C-alpha cells in the first residue's frame, strides 16, 4: 500500500534528522515509526498496566545482568546526583 503524507516542514526536518542520525532513508525510518511507534491501546493508566504492557512487549528481563533492580536504580540515581553540571 502506498500512502502520501503532507507533513509540516518542521516535522519533516525533525524526522529527516532522526533518520540521518540512524543512517536510514527517511521513508524507511517513517515506516519503522509507524510499525513500532504505536503505544498500548487502551492507554496505560496504572503501574500494573504499565508492567503488563512491558511484559506483553517482551521488555521484562531484557537485562539479566541486573540481579537487583532496586539497587541498580539507586546506583543510577546516586551517580546522576553526583554528576557535575558543566
The full DSSP string for 24-59 is --HHHHHHHHHHH----SSPP-SHHHHHHHHHHTT-
> 69 lies in a domain?
no
Range of the domain at 50: 8-60
Q: What is the mean pLDDT of residues 47-72?
A: 88
If one counts the domains in the chain, the total is: 1
Q: What is the residue whose three cell numbers read 525510518?
A: 29
> 71 lies in a domain?
no
Instruction: Give pLDDT, residue 64.
Output: 87
> 74 lies in a domain?
no
pLDDT band at 63 (very low <50, low <70, confident <90, very high): confident
> 39 lies in a domain?
yes
Q: Is the confidence at residue 36, as pLDDT, over 90?
A: no
> 41 lies in a domain?
yes
> 85 lies in a domain?
no
For residue 62, what is the DSSP state? S
Question: For residues 60 and 54, what is the distance between their CA atoms, to the nearest angstrom?
Answer: 6
pTM of the model: 0.45
Q: Is the confidence at residue 5, as pLDDT, over 70?
A: yes
> 23 lies in a domain?
yes
Amino acid at each position: 500500500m502506498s500512502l502520501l503524507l503532507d507533513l509540516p516542514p518542521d516535522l519533516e526536518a525533525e524526522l529527516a534528522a532522526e533518520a540521518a542520525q540512524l543512517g536510514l532513508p527517511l521513508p524507511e525510518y517513517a515506516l519503522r515509526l509507524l510499525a513500532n511507534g504505536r503505544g498500548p491501546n487502551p492507554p496505560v493508566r496504572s503501574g500494573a498496566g504499565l508492567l503488563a504492557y512491558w511484559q506483553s512487549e517482551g521488555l521484562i528481563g531484557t537485562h539479566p545482568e541486573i540481579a537487583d533492580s532496586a539497587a541498580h536504580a539507586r546506583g543510577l540515581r546516586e551517580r546522576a546526583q553526583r554528576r557535575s553540571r558543566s
